[in-house]
Chain A
Amino acid sequence: MNIFFLMPKANDDMERLRDTLQRKHPGHTIEHLRSVKKLSQRLHQLSDKPDLILLAFPEIDMLRKVLPLTRLLHPHRVVIILPDREQETLHLAHRLRPRYVTDFDSEWHQLAAVLSRMIDIYSRPGRQ
């Protein structure tokens, strides 16, 4: 299973999250993308397509920058980490049809539990 992880800035919780996932699911690849441009390039490639995309937005502007990629993101399962839970932020996030939405203030191990389940479910035959 291929996981894209858009995480532009270093963040302790996100590093811990990534390490936890890698430790719990060693057979799966987590590809770390540092910019929206890089995400866009990878979404345009047909090979090694993602089965799950994790988008961490430290600022709302970055979320806005991803919105033009909506059509490319829609076929994929997306999980979003938001900078806040303001109505406008949530409204923009839901345009990407995420399977789960959380924010930087939430407990990272809750997100890890959700992602772990998703990895288990989506790597079953017929679900990829």
Chain B
Amino acid sequence: MAVILIIDSNPSSTHRIKETFEAEKHRVLHSPSLGMALHYAEHEPLDVVFVKDRMPEGSGLEIIQSLQTAPSSPEVIIMSDDPDPALAETAIRQGAWDYVETPSSSKVLLLALLRILRYREKCRIAAEQPRLDRRNFEHIRGSSRPLLNCLEMAEKAARSDVSVLIEGETGTGKELFAWGIHQNSARADRNYVVVDCAALPETLVESTLFGHERGSFTGATKSKTGLIKQADGGTLFLDEVGELPLAVQKSFLRVLQEGRFRPVGSRHEESSNFRVIAATNRNLAESVEKGTFRVDLLFRLQTMKIILPPLRQHPEDIEEIVRYHIASLHRNAGVPPKEFSSDFFNTLRRYEWPGNVRELLNAIDRAITAAQEEPVLFPIHLPTDIRVNLAVEAIEASDAEPTPPARPDPKTEPVLPPLPDLRDAAISELESNYLADLMQLTQGDMKQASRISGLSRSRLYALLKRYDVPIPR
């Protein structure tokens, strides 16, 4: 018997679904609101949750992650009376099992339930088996549901020998995942060979991958083993695989299918037994539509697919990533450890991080350099471009909150505020935050605060008064 929760404010569709499942002896709970549903998720051993995409108090998609982190980790199916492809994509990316039109037939409902119950049973059996050693994924930090989903996929990939395609924006850690999969796999003792597909000039790709015979082209003064042969027994990591020229895609597909290839200028075929992991920041399905990527190669590469979320979708991991990075710098490079001001992580979480984890870690390195001997990192230590971006966004957000008297007409009036106003507002916000941190750090010790800030005491008092920052006593 399964425990099912239906989140739907429409009594008639709820009644129909409830009846279907109860006829099969399942226990069915009903919640007409999202809030009540979360209460059920906390206290009931739910297996499956059917949730309507449009609820009176908001979108049903908003609670997918909360439902999944509930003690019983139920699977979530989003139902819609008016399906929308964009919402379907969002729902699946957030971890929903499926996004379906509100089912009218009991057959469809029961089939979906049966699939989920089979899957959960397999997961239960797998969970009873010893789990992989996570030590080789230790460099990937974070405990958010989107990241844990990716790590679980990576663990499964490491246990198998199938091809893996890792998709994600630049800086999301595609290579770290590929390396982690290799390190946890049965091929860990053999070569992990990286192919930077974007960096190889078209004229060199073929000979670099397949190798060449002496004299096969101008400059080939010696025979050379290609990367595919170097990966024999190990893993071949194709980074930016979407950049691979079409002609080479065809030859490479053959290697994947047959494990055999012919070095440039050679009469003889060679073999190589390697596992392929590919990564891309492109949507390869779109590249297929444009004719720049072979669909058969795509199918071969994506036996298993891991989609890494951009950092802005799991800002709750930022603190863990930063603390781990600082500990690594201390351990590996002898950088003294740092503490953080109360609003440091809040500031980091407010930024969008278009360059993802790579940009975050660079910003932290620069903050440490800016802080010099200071034991505590404050937002003021972060790179200027990030602070300016945040200050401008804060101003825009505060401008957007109250109903504006009249929006400026972009045809007749400038949309941007005057630069001096913007600059003053940004500086005021920075100074005010800095002073609050300074007072918290020094607990009102003005001598220490004056030393840290580099301001005279009289100037410090004047600024505290101007920004109305209390001095702790």
For this complex, 16 residue pairs linking A to B, each with C-beta atoms less than 8 Å apart, are A44-B333, A46-B366, A72-B332, A94-B230, A97-B194, A99-B196, A100-B200, A105-B221, A106-B224, A107-B221, A110-B219, A113-B204, A114-B201, A117-B199, A126-B171, A126-B355
Q: Which residues from chain A contact B175 at a C-beta distance below 8 Å?
A: 97
Contact residues in A for B359 (Cβ distance below 8 Å): 126
Complex CA gap A128/B192 in Å reads: 23
- Tell whether, in the assembled complex, residue B225 and residue A85 are in contact, meaning their CB atoms are under 8 Å apart: yes
- Chain B hits for A71, CB < 8 A: 332
Known contacts: A85-B225, A99-B196. The answer to whether A43 contacts B204 by CB under 8 A is no
Query: Of A43, A77, A105, which contacts B222 at CB under 8 A?
Result: A105
Contact of A100 among B199, B203, B332 (CB under 8 A): B199
- Give Cα distance in the complex from A114 to B198, angstroms: 10
Q: Give Cα distance in the complex from A45 to B359, angstroms.
A: 18
Residues of A within 8 A of B193 (CB): 94
Q: 8 Å CB contacts to A: which residues of B313-352?
A: 329, 332-335
Q: Is the CB of A110 within 8 A of B204?
A: yes
Whether A67 is near chain B, meaning CB under 8 Å from some CB there, is no
Instruction: For B199, list chain A residues within 8 Å (CB).
Output: 99-100, 114, 117-118, 121
- List A83-128 residues whose CB lies under 8 Å from chain B: 85, 90-91, 94, 97-101, 105-107, 110, 113-114, 117-118, 121, 126-128
Chain A 22-51 against B: per-residue CB contact (8 Å), 1 yes, 0 no? 000000000000000000000110110100
Whether A94 contacts B191 by the Cβ 8 Å rule is yes
**Smallest CB-CB separation from B189: which chain A residue?**
A91
Considering the complex, give the chain A residue whose CB is closest to the CB of B190.
A91
* Chain A residue, CB-CB nearest to B211: A85
> Do B201 and A121 touch (CB < 8 A)?
no
Whole-angstrom CA separation of A14 from B224 in the bound complex: 20
Q: Tell me, yes or no, whether B354 is within 8 Å of chain A by CB.
A: yes
Q: A74 to chain B: closest CB distance in Å?
A: 8
Q: State in angstroms the CA–CA spacing of A38 and B362 once bound together.
A: 22
Please give me the residue from chain B that is nearest to A115 by CB atom.
B199
**How distant is B349 from chain A, measured CB to nearest CB, in Å?**
20
The reply on B266 being an interface residue by CB < 8 A is no
CB B201 to nearest CB in A, in angstroms, measures 5
Q: Which A residues are in CB contact (< 8 Å) with B99?
A: none
A77 to B366, CA, bound (A): 19
Residue B365 lies at the interface, judged by CB distance under 8 Å to chain A: yes
**Are A117 and B198 within 8 A (Cβ)?**
yes
Chain B nearest CB, measured from A64 CB (Å): 17
Distance in angstroms from A120 CB to nearest chain B CB is 9
- Closest residue of B by beta carbon distance from A75: B361
B198 touches A128 (CB 8 A): no
Whether B369 is near chain A, meaning CB under 8 Å from some CB there, is yes
Q: Which residues of A contact B196 (CB under 8 A)?
A: 77, 99-100, 118
Q: A113-B204, A121-B198 are in contact. Are A90 and B230 (CB under 8 A)?
A: yes
B261 in the interface (beta carbon within 8 A): no
Q: Whose C-beta in chain B lies nearest to the C-beta of A126? A: B355
In the docked arrangement, what's the CA distance between A72 and B333, Å?
A: 8
16 additional A-B residue pairs with CB within 8 Å, beyond A110-B204, A126-B355: A46-B329, A46-B333, A75-B361, A91-B191, A94-B192, A94-B194, A94-B230, A97-B175, A99-B239, A100-B208, A106-B224, A113-B201, A113-B204, A117-B199, A118-B196, A128-B355
